[in-house]
Amino acid sequence: MSEFLANIQLGLSTALSAEALLFCFLGVTVGTVVGVLPGIGALAAISLALPLTYYLDPTTALIMLAGIFYGAQYGGSTASILLNLPGTATSAITCLDGYPLAQQGKAPLALFVTAINSFVGSSFAIVLVMGFAPLIAGFALKFSSTEYFSVMLLGLVAASTLSVGSPFKALAMVVFGIVLGQVGTDVNTGMFRFNFGILELADGFGLVAVAMGLFGVAEIMANVGQASGAPMGVKGMRFKDMIPSRSEWKEIWKPTLRGSVIGSFVGALPGTGPGIASLMAYAAEKRLSRDPSQFGKGSLAGLSAPEAANNASVQAAFIPTLSLGIPGDAVVAVLMGAMILHGITPGPNLINDQPAMFWGLIMSFWIGNLMLLFLNIPLIGLWVRLLSIPYRLLYPAIILFICIGVYSADNNVFDIYVVLAFGLIGYAMRKFSYPATPVLLGFILGPLLEEHFRRAMLLSHGDLTIFLQRPISLVFLLISLMFLGSVFMPGLRSKLVSRVRRNAPSDDAD
Amino acid sequence: MFRPGPGFFPFYIGLLLVLLGVMVALENRRMLIDDSDEKQPSGMRPVVAISVAMVVLALLLERLGFVPAMMAMFVCIGFAERRTSWLPLLGVCLFMAIFGTALFIWGLSVPISAFGAS
């Protein structure tokens, strides 16, 4: 216990330094802005900010990038409620009951409730991260390459089979991502693979360029020319209108807690993110409700559960990332890429080797969430006004940022072409309903998967059955097989799918 | 002894991709899931305009400098939509010219010059 308190103290001393506080604030503010604005998500924002953090201390850099991530979850609900347009893809479910509430003139109430939901969901999950990440890391210290290969495989399979839409397309996209990850120099032999004689590809594709192409440029290409709504008139938002009444509090507290639990669980699974978490929380709430017909007409329960769930899942996604080195979802995958670029390998050793970083990051979550509560309740009017900036004036600036951002990562114009190419690929994928998130997971995990596979083969003297002989590895493989099997049992899936098809246009958890 | 070389993973990953491609094709034929894009098609116009804009920026950035390159890019982007209000776009362009120069070149010392080759 005293050790735990010492760790918390260490974390606080890191997270409360002036530099950490400043960048945490910067991160959550940027996160809120990109969350509020439809058309740019956390992923594009983090990739954009990534080159800017090269000059920072790695812990500070992570604190800021993580702040963008969870900050965007707070902001995302604003556009959902006021515009019926998800600010981030993960808050699509929030539209269902948030927009009807706004139509009934209860927008201030809805905005207040989602801020509270977000805070409760996050807090719940942060407590879990503090408890479970060190525990799992301790367990994972015994892992060899064999177990790592299996658990990564599980992560990739879970990510693609637990998504909305065709599981085969998602699986194919994971594999496509792995192929992209193989471009460049083979680490073991130094041989070039898939570089087609292009010198710039000797180091492979840059993570920033791939992520910004698939998520940033593709998103813009798809959005330009689409009609955008005008925000509901929320003039003179008074604090009095925001506070729920006693009976409304009663209506929201249970769904919020249930959403937090579901979100934390889904988020902690490697590979599954906030999109699926909020969906599951909504479905569960509807089933538990005494009056399901209220859902979709402005039910506070239907607003609270998914909103708590997506925030909880975002924080819980740090459990597998920080303890195993396996990202909980695509955005955390980019964060993991950022850690690697800063020379830190996420994995079970992280907590012991870099306690100041681990506990500092966790404590910064608390601080960041408190800041977000402040940003999203007293200052909400500011963000609402932000929504009135027309998209057609915003996106040229975003494209310019993306181009100069990738250029600055390596000072090479070639990367601008790479980003454009992935933008076009991402646009085509969107048109034909291929999810982009699995590509990124495959791209980041693929090289690790291969390395662990080859190392396992060296250790076992080429015996492929090693993966089945080691019990932990066997369990991971069996769970993967179970997920794969679920693909062929369409009963459960089709239910989920048909529900989503009516409600949310896409599930690319960005 | 079985020792996977640099070609092992690409080969089997390739096979897997082919297999999954067949599965997707089969699934589409049986129409298990209808996931055609329901959003209205926005056409190819924005895609082409944005692509051209990015290529123009890439071509000019190191030759003419940041400001001329980004201005040329904004002109191309102006053609992304059928009816563009050029005046507000010019405003954004001028703002980004100043803000971008301050942020990227002075602030983050990205090695490009505002005007002229770098």
pLDDT by residue (tens digit) across A309-332?
988 988 898 888 888 888 777 788
Q: Exposed/middle/buried for A227, CB within 10 Å: 0-12, 13-18, 19+?
A: exposed
Q: Which of A172, A226, A400 sits opposite B100 (nearest CB)?
A: A400
DSSP A21-84: HHHHHHHHHHHHHHHHSTT--HHHHHHHHTGGGGGS-HHHHHHHHHHHHHHHHHHHHHHHHHHS
How confident is the model at residue A505, as a pLDDT?
42
Domain coordinates in residue numbering, chain B = 45-107
- Which residue in A331, A434, A465 sits closest to B36, CA to CA? A434
Interchain proximity A193–B6, CB inside 8 Å: yes
Domain coordinates in residue numbering, chain A = 2-503
Interchain proximity B80–A399, CB inside 8 Å: no
How confident is the model at residue B61, as a pLDDT?
85
Q: Which of B33, B46, B108 sits opposite A225 (nearest CB)?
A: B46
Give the separation between CA A65 and CA A14, rounded to whole angstroms. 16
Q: What is the pLDDT along chain A (510 residues), one digit of tens a residue?
A: 677 888 888 888 888 888 889 999 999 999 988 888 876 778 878 877 877 787 788 889 889 999 998 888 888 888 888 877 776 667 778 888 888 888 888 888 888 888 888 999 999 999 998 888 888 888 877 888 888 888 888 888 887 777 667 788 888 888 999 988 888 777 777 777 776 777 777 777 888 888 888 888 888 888 786 655 555 555 556 666 777 777 778 778 888 999 899 989 888 877 677 778 888 888 888 888 877 787 878 788 888 888 899 889 888 988 888 888 887 777 888 888 888 878 887 888 888 888 888 898 889 999 999 999 888 888 877 887 777 777 777 888 888 888 888 888 778 888 899 999 999 999 988 888 888 888 888 888 888 888 888 888 888 887 778 778 888 888 888 888 888 887 776 555 555 555 554 444 443 434
- Helix, strand, coil shares of chain A as percentages rounded to 5? 75, 0, 25
Mutate to test the interface with A, among B16, B28, B35, B62 (most CBs of A within 10 A): B35
- Which residue in A91, A79, A74, A97 sits closest to A38, CA to CA? A79
Residue with tokens 């990738």: A406
- Global pTM reads 0.80
What residue in A sits closest to B16 (Cα-Cα)? A175
pLDDT by residue (tens digit) across A363-393?
999 999 999 988 888 887 788 777 777 777 7
Percent of chain A past pLDDT 70, that is, above it, reads: 90
Mutate to test the interface with B, among A188, A392, A465 (most CBs of B within 10 A): A392
Chain A residues closer than 8 Å to B14 by CB: 179
Q: Which of B4, B14, B74 sits opposite A396 (nearest CB)?
A: B74
Chain A residues closer than 8 Å to B42 by CB: 222-226
H or E stretch at B106? none
Q: Is residue A375 within 8 Å of residue A384, measured between CB atoms?
A: no
- Calculate how close chain A gets to B44, using CA atoms only, in Å: 9
Give the separation between CA A232 and CA A110, rounded to whole angstroms. 13
C-beta pairs of B41-47 under 8 Å, 24+ apart in sequence = B42/A222, B42/A223, B42/A224, B42/A225, B42/A226, B43/A225, B45/A225, B45/B79, B45/B80, B45/B81, B45/B82, B46/A221, B46/A224, B46/A225, B46/B80, B46/B81, B47/A221, B47/A424, B47/A427
Q: Is residue A87 within 8 Å of residue A36, measured between CB atoms?
A: yes
CB pairs under 8 A between A and B: 161
